[in-house]
Amino acid sequence: MTSKFLRFSLAAAVLFAISALAQTGSATTPAGTGALPAAPSASAPADAQPPAITGTKVGAINIEGAIFGSNEGRRDIEGLQKKFEPKNAELKSANDELEGLKKQLSTQQDKLNEDALANLKKQIEGKQKTFDRSMQDAQEEFGNGQQEIASRILQKMAPMIVKYAADNGYGMIIDTSKQWPQSPVLLAGQSVDITKAVVDIYNAQSGVPAPASTGAAKPAAPKPVGTTPAKPATTAPPKN
């Protein structure tokens, strides 16, 4: 659930961020309306405008993979996972206790008297409800933290995608974070994939060093139930 929600939110954020950047240059305020001009960004000149997208090439990028494959994304998601280690341990302990009671019920229900059996079932039911509620709360909290990281990085990465597209003759960039049939993209080969190029540019400009751990971070909901984000990869139709 967390991964699907993240992908939906990222898709909406990408559409908004990149579309806004691509259209900013053509938007003007009619004279005499009394509207105040927007304050310029502290990181860009007051007259800076996004580059025009006039190319004809088609490129592909795994937005989710680019965000969490960047040094900043890996660093921040690892920090979030570390923050949730105590909660993971707490959930694992509660789950182990619950499984122990279920095993006890399975092996001893024929030997327990009516009152003891009813008490054990009531105990299991209560602990199951508490565990499910705690798990859902933890997953939602983790998902919110994951979404905050993704949104923050995307705000800085989106202009780079637009500039890269303009500088390299791309007229269209498709997102391959999801595979077909969840995505309308049937096939995208490595020759059109710009994920690594964008990540390299982002890493260079962010100045964030690569985390000590190897490989891309894997955002996961608190254990024992987890999710794994999409990695930078091409999409392909299913085999017959």
- Degrees to nearest 5, angle at CA 128 with 124 and 134: 145
Phi/psi at 42 (5° precision): -70, -20
> Would 223 be classed as within a structural domain?
no
25-76: per-residue pLDDT in tens? 444 333 333 333 333 343 444 455 667 788 889 999 999 999 999 999 999 9
Q: Give pLDDT, residue 178.
A: 87
> Would 237 be classed as within a structural domain?
no
119-136: per-residue pLDDT in tens? 999 999 999 999 999 999
pTM summary value = 0.69
> Would 38 be classed as within a structural domain?
no
Q: Give pLDDT, residue 122.
A: 96
Structure tokens at 59: 């490129």
Instruction: Specify whether the backbone of 32 is left (phi greater than 0), alpha (psi in -120 to 50) or beta.
Output: left
> Would 45 be classed as within a structural domain?
no
Q: How many CB atoms lie within 10 A of CB 2?
A: 21
Give me the domain span that covers residue 63.
2-18+53-206
> Would 175 be classed as within a structural domain?
yes
> Would 150 be classed as within a structural domain?
yes
Number of structural domains the chain divides into = 1
> Would 24 be classed as within a structural domain?
no
- Degrees to nearest 5, angle at CA 148 with 143 and 152: 150
Distances (CA, A) of 43 to 40, 47, 152: 8, 12, 15
